[in-house]
C-alpha cells in the first residue's frame, strides 16, 4: 500500500460521530484540507499527503463527501492522486474499502481487467470509547487477462481496538487523541501460489480534527514508517 492509499484510507476511518452530525468530528466543509508528512523509521521525510474535501452532499438520511487525495515526494513532485467517498449515516461513519488500493499498483495492471468487490466497508459507530472492538473491513481484487484470472487479492483490516487516550503533538498542534490499533492482512493467490502478508498499525485521532498521527509496523512489531498531521487549512 502506498503512503497516499494508507493516509487517505485512515484519515477518516477513525472518527466517531453521533446522530449523523459529522461536523462534530470531521469539518465537513468543501475546500477544507489536511496535509500529512510521511517519515521512514529513521525520521527521514519521504513525502507529503494532501487530502481535500472536494464535495459534500447532504441527503435526508445521510451525508456523503468526496475526498481528493494527492501524494507528493520529498521534493514536492506530484506522484499520484485519487478520489474516494465517505458516508455518514445514522450513527455510523462508512468508508469504502476500495479507498485503500495503491494507485501505483493499479497502474502496474495496465492492459488488464481489474475488478474490485467490497465485502464489508469499514465503519465507525457513534459514541466510540476506550476498549471498543471495531468491525473488520474486507475487499477482493481480481486481475484478469483474456477472461482468465491471473491474480486474486483479499484485503482485510481486522482486530481494530480502541486501546486508550493520549496527548499527541505534531507540527499542526497538540491534540487529545484516541489510540486505535489494527492489522492489515493481504492474501494473494497468483498462478496457484498463495502468499499472506500481515502488517500492523496504530492510529491517533482527535474528535473535531481527525487523524493526527499514524504508525506502521511489520509483522514483528518493528516500526517501518509514520505519518503526522502537519497542516490544517
Least Cα distance to 71 among 50, 85, 54 occurs for: 50
Cα Rg of the chain, angstroms:
17
pLDDT at 86: 82
Separation CA 213–CA 10 (nearest Å): 10
Q: What is the pLDDT of residue 217?
A: 96
pLDDT at 109: 72
Mean pLDDT value of segment 93-113: 69
The fraction of the chain above a pLDDT of 70, given in percent, is 83
What confidence category does residue 231 fall into, taking pLDDT thresholds of 50, 70 and 90?
A: very high
Query: Taking the chain, what is the end-to-end CA distance rounded to the nearest angstrom?
Result: 26
Distance of CA 9 to the CA centre of its chain: 2
Q: What is the mean predicted confidence (pLDDT) over 193-201? A: 93
Share of the chain above pLDDT 90, in %: 39
* Residue 115, SS3 per DSSP: strand
Neighbours of 175 (CB within 10 A): 21
pLDDT for position 224: 94
pTM: 0.80
pLDDT at 7 > cutoff 60:
no
* CA-angle at 90, arms to 87 and 96, nearest 5°: 25
**Structure-model confidence comparison of residues 34 and 111, the more confident one:** 34
List the domains of the chain with CATH numbers: 3-232 (2.40.360.20)
Q: How far apart are CA 124 and CA 108, in angstroms?
A: 32
pLDDT confidence band for 12 (50 / 70 / 90): very low
The secondary structure of residue 1, as a DSSP letter, is -
Residue 136: DSSP 8-state:
P
What pLDDT does 182 receive?
A: 94
Reported as a single tens digit per residue, the pLDDT across 133-176 is 999 989 888 888 888 888 898 999 999 999 999 999 999 999 99
- pLDDT category at 21 given cuts 50, 70, 90 is low
Q: Give the range with max mean pLDDT: 61-65, 148-152, 177-181.
A: 177-181
Q: What is the mean pLDDT of the chain?
A: 83
pLDDT for residue 14 is more than 70: no
Residue whose C-alpha is closest to residue 180's, from 129, 227, 121: 129
For the ranges 36-40, 100-104, 137-141, the one whose mean pLDDT is highest: 36-40
- The residue with cell 499542526 is 172
For residue 93, the model assigns a pLDDT of: 76
The yes-or-no verdict on residue 181 having pLDDT over 90 is yes
Amino acid at each position: 500500500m502506498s503512503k497516499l492509499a494508507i493516509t487517505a484510507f485512515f484519515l477518516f476511518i477513525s472518527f466517531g460521530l453521533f446522530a449523523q452530525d459529522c461536523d462534530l468530528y470531521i469539518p465537513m466543509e468543501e475546500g477544507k484540507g489536511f496535509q500529512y508528512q510521511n517519515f521512514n523509521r529513521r525520521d527521514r521525510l519521504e513525502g507529503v499527503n494532501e487530502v481535500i474535501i472536494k464535495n459534500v452532499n447532504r441527503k435526508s438520511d445521510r451525508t456523503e463527501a468526496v475526498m481528493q487525495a494527492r501524494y507528493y515526494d520529498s521534493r514536492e513532485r506530484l506522484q499520484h492522486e485519487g478520489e474516494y467517498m465517505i458516508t455518514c449515516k445514522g450513527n455510523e461513519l462508512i468508508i469504502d474499502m476500495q479507498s485503500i488500493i495503491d494507485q501505483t499498483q493499479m497502474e502496474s495492471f495496465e492492459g488488464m481487467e481489474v475488478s474490485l468487490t467490497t465485502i464489508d466497508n469499514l465503519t465507525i459507530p457513534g459514541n466510540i470509547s476506550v476498549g471498543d472492538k471495531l468491525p473488520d473491513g474486507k475487499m477482493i481484487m481480481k486481475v484478469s487477462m483474456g477472461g482468465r484470472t491471473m491474480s486474486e487479492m483479499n484485503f482485510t483490516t481486522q482486530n481494530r481496538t480502541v486501546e486508550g487516550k493520549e496527548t499527541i503533538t505534531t507540527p499542526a498542534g497538540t491534540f487529545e487523541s484516541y489510540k486505535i490499533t489494527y492489522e492489515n492482512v493481504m492474501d494473494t493467490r497468483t498462478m496457484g501460489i498463495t502468499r499472506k502478508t500481515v502488517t500492523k498499525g496504530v492510529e491517533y485521532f482527535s474528535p473535531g480534527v481527525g487523524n493526527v498521527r499514524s504508525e506502521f509496523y511489520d509483522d514483528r512489531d518493528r516500526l517501518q514508517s509514520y505519518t503526522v498531521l502537519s497542516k490544517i487549512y
